[in-house]
Amino acid sequence: MHRLILGGVRSGKSRLAERLARDSGLAVTYIATARASDDEMTARIAAHRERRPADWRLVEEPLALVDSLRREAAACRCVLVECLTLWLSNLLWAGDEERLGRELEALPALLADLPGQVIFVGNETNLGVIPMNALARRYCDLAGSLHQQLAARCDAVYFTAAGLPLALKGPPLQGND
């Protein structure tokens, strides 16, 4: 089963993804896309690290997510990707338009071939005002398109707010107890 979990900052999406991975009963690989670029991001990464069970395998990959998924996905494993929108940011900042296009095309296409369970986490960026900055608008457009493509291919899609999951596709879930 492949799942997509979307929500805003501090909405509970990461905790929900971690709970689903833990409850899968499978070995878990956590693919972290974040880069510790400043003190705030370093603190966020540390908080995520402290919450994760010690037996989860960690793969830190800010750019080559498709390759990491090909390597890590297995019938006996749950892969948690945290998070799609940081990965997209990293690709945009890398400044390689060809790679950006290739990665964004390859990820949705890869889903049908991935064994085991995969849980994707992403920030829903398109619920507010349209950004004034061209790069921010492009980022929101790319994130929205990526989320739509993955949602069409995932078995379940959840939106989180105030720690509560809303099933957009697939079976309903209980809150983050």
Query: Which residues belong to the active site?
Result: 48
Write out the two tokens for 81.
């990707």
Parallel, antiparallel or unpaired: strands 57-60 and 27-32 = parallel
- Nearest to 84, CA basis, from 52, 118, 57: 118
Q: CA dihedral in degrees (159, 32, 126, 11; nearest 10)?
A: 40
Query: Rounded distance, CA 14 to CA 44, Å?
Result: 11
Q: What Cα–Cα distance (Å) separates residue 58 from each residue in 52, 164, 176?
A: 10, 26, 23
- Nearest to 74, CA basis, from 108, 107, 118, 112: 118
Query: Rounded distance, CA 64 to CA 33, Å?
Result: 9
